[in-house]
Amino acid sequence: MQSVMRGYIGAVDAMNRRIGRITMYGIFVLMGILLWSSISKTFFLPSLWTLEMAQFVMVSYYVLGGPYSIQMGSNVRMDLLYGNWSTRKKAWFDLATVLLLIFYLCVLLYGAVSSTAYSLGYWGSEPVSFLAGIVFGTEEVGRMERSPTAWRPYLWPIKVVMIFGMILMILQCFSEFLKDVLRLTDGATDVV
């Protein structure tokens, strides 16, 4: 059983490490968009797309980089008491909090799926089956949602990125959960 857990941890950590390292370079894309926005507003006619595109890039940067941040332990944490605890006590506390985080992420994922289905023209009450139907070709896309701005981009691409990022985050949280279980059963501080 422990070898299966270690295999899952290794696979998920490697995947999120690669995606996170690639996503880190998104900050340069964001800087380029904002630089172009400043230049076009100063010297030319202002570009309509820059503000929204910067928001989309920032959402992608944040959502796809989150699992890597959790993996590296660089997420915000209150260390008033936690820093002085033993490895075993930290593992017990992390077990409880990661379960709460997984529950929260599952609620967010359901909301993201519903919002994505809405952006693809679905107004019913079963968004998961609608998106599965789109993937397997049994459903058709309706009138797609667009942003109410002058640029009017379709919103479904960024919503799909959010779904993908939340799935990666849930997978990484399960990896962290299994690391804590292994810490408690093995007594080791370094799991993988």
What single-letter DSSP state applies at residue 1?
A: -
Q: What is the pLDDT of residues 55-102, one digit of tens each?
A: 999 999 999 999 999 999 887 777 788 878 888 888 899 899 999 999
pTM equals 0.87
* SS3 of 44-92: CCCCCCHHHHHHHHHHHHHHHHHHHHHHHCCCCCCHHHHCCCCHHHHHH
**Segments making up each domain of the chain, as ranges:** 2-73+85-186
